[in-house]
Amino acid sequence: TAVNLAAGVDRVLPFAGKGADAVAAEAQALLDEDVRGNRAIGVHGAAWILDRAGDRPLRVLTHCNAGALATAGWGTALGVVRELHRRGRVELVYADETRPLLQGARLTAWELDQAGIPCVVQADGAAPSTILRGLADVAVIGADRIAANGDTANKIGSVGVALACHAAGIPLVVAAPWSTVDLALPDGTGIPIEERPAEEVLTWGGVRTAPDRVDAYNPAFDVTPARLVTALVTETGVLEVSAGTTPGGVRG
C-alpha cells in the first residue's frame, strides 16, 4: 500500500555500483530532504489550520503514527502538531491507539510525551464519538498512498475518523510528502490493501482471544474518499481536496 519506502530505495539503488560512500551520500541527501519537507508540511498545515481556528486553543485528533519514528526524524501529521505546539496552540491531542499493533499508543503517544505535548490515548472505537461530541477541533492524519483524485490510503480506522469529521463539520487534514501521491492511480479503487496475519487480531500477548474455529479479517489500511478530505498538506502547500482542488488537477 505504502509507496515512500520503495521510492527511496529506487532513488538510492542506482548508486550501489559506485560504492558504499556514494550510497551513503545519496541516502543522507534523501534524509535531509525528508526532514526539510516534513518541517515545511508542519508550517503549511499549522498555518492553514490556524487561519480557520480563531484564537482558541486546539484539540487535535490523530490516528496511527506519522511522526519522527515513521519518517526521517520530524513527522508529517505530527509535524503539523509539533508546529501548532511551537506556536502555543495545542490544548490536547487525542492519539488513537491504532489496533491491532498499537502504533498510536506505543509510538505516537511516546513522541508527544517526549515533546511535552499534552495527549491522551483513546480506543479507536472512541474516536468518532470524541469528534461528534465536539471534543476535537481538527483531525490530522498521515497517508501511505494518495490517488490523483485525492482518495487517501492510511491506517485502518481512518475512514471512521473522516466520516465523523464530515458529520461534525470539522476539518480532516491529511499531511504527506508529494512523493506519497501516485498520479498513475486515478482514484483509490486501484490502491492495494495489505492484509496482515490473522494472529494480530485473534491473539493478545500470545494468548488466543477468539474461538479456535474463528478466523480474522485484518486489513492494514483503508481508503478515505476525496470528498471527506478537507485539506491535503504537502511540502509545497495546501490543496483543499473536498472543494475540488486535487493532486491530479494540480500536476496532471
Q: Which residues pair with 223 in a beta bridge?
A: 153
All three cell numbers of 78: 505530527
Catalytic residue among 96, 137, 144, 151: 144
C-alpha distance from residue 96 to each of 55, 108, 232 (Å) = 26, 9, 20
Measured from the Cβ of residue 11, the count of other Cβ atoms closer than 10 Å reads 15
Cα 88 from Cα 82, distance rounded (Å): 10
Is 144 annotated in the active site?
yes
Helix/strand/coil percentages in the chain, nearest 5: 45, 20, 35
Can you say whether the dihedral through the CA atoms of 153, 77, 180, 228 is positive or negative? Answer: positive
| All cell numbers assigned to 105 | 499508543
Assigned C-alpha cell, 96 = 488513537
Asked if the peptide bond before residue 100 counts as cis, ω within 30 degrees of 0, the response is: yes
DSSP state, residue 195:
B
210 Cβ contact partners less than 8 Å away, ≥ 6 residues apart: 201, 202, 216
Q: What is the DSSP string of 103-123?
A: HIIIIIHHHHHHTT--EEEE-
Indicate which residues carry an active-site annotation.
Answer: 144
